[in-house]
Structure 1
Amino acid sequence: MPTHRTFIATYIMASGRNGTLYVGMTANLTARVWKHRTGAFDGFGKAYGCTQLVWFEQHAWVVEAIRREKRIKKWLRDWKLQLIEAANPDWRDLAEGWYPVHDPNWTPPVEDEGFSGSASQPEG
């Protein structure tokens, strides 16, 4: 797994263990998670407090990430929970420690707006 998370990915954000889920895709996982955490990414995830990265999968091509995102969004909620728990049984926030807390010289990552993912429907 790369230490710098600027790569194409399908991902799942959650409001907490077994909470509301947001499925998305991005070309820059670091920037996208930052947007979810800070509320800069308007929409479903912000409205339902989905700020914890609980699962992600890296892809070589955007079309692969989009295809995987669309497939997962059609799944039953139980299947999504099984996917998360198979890779992350403790529901740890996988982005914990990605961003400096007290570094005045740090700026948030920039995301290419052309790969913003798509909206989700509430699950819960």
Structure 2
Amino acid sequence: MKTADGRHPSNNVTSFITVDIASQTATAIGTYNFLNVATNDLVALSDGIFGIDHINDVLHLINPSTGNLEKSIDLSENGTYFGLAAVVPIPPAIWLFGGGLIGLIGVARRKKA
């Protein structure tokens, strides 16, 4: 089977999907195969990298209303969340810790006296 311009059709379609989840931007880059096999699926969120598990991957035939091939994919995610720790300035942290330590020493001396 050939397309109208004489080229052989491909089962693989490379897709780029942008998703907005809780005000975060996600980009899904994957090569999908119409035989229900998916490879190279990756979702890169602003604070983690997630793989895509295909729950349902169904190719619909030509849609009579649009004339386009349509594909329906239900996705779930698995992955790792990379939370960012807040940076604590060292000098103020040392002063705060030192002040608390000196206060505890003072309280201990008063109890002895």
Q: TM-score range by the shorter chain?
A: under 0.3
Q: Which has the higher contact order (CA 8 A, sep 6+)?
A: 1
What is the TM-score with the length of structure 2 in the denominator? 0.24
Higher strand share: 2
What is the TM-score with the length of structure 1 in the denominator? 0.22
Higher helix share: 1
Question: Is the radius of gyration larger for structure 1 or structure 2?
Answer: 2
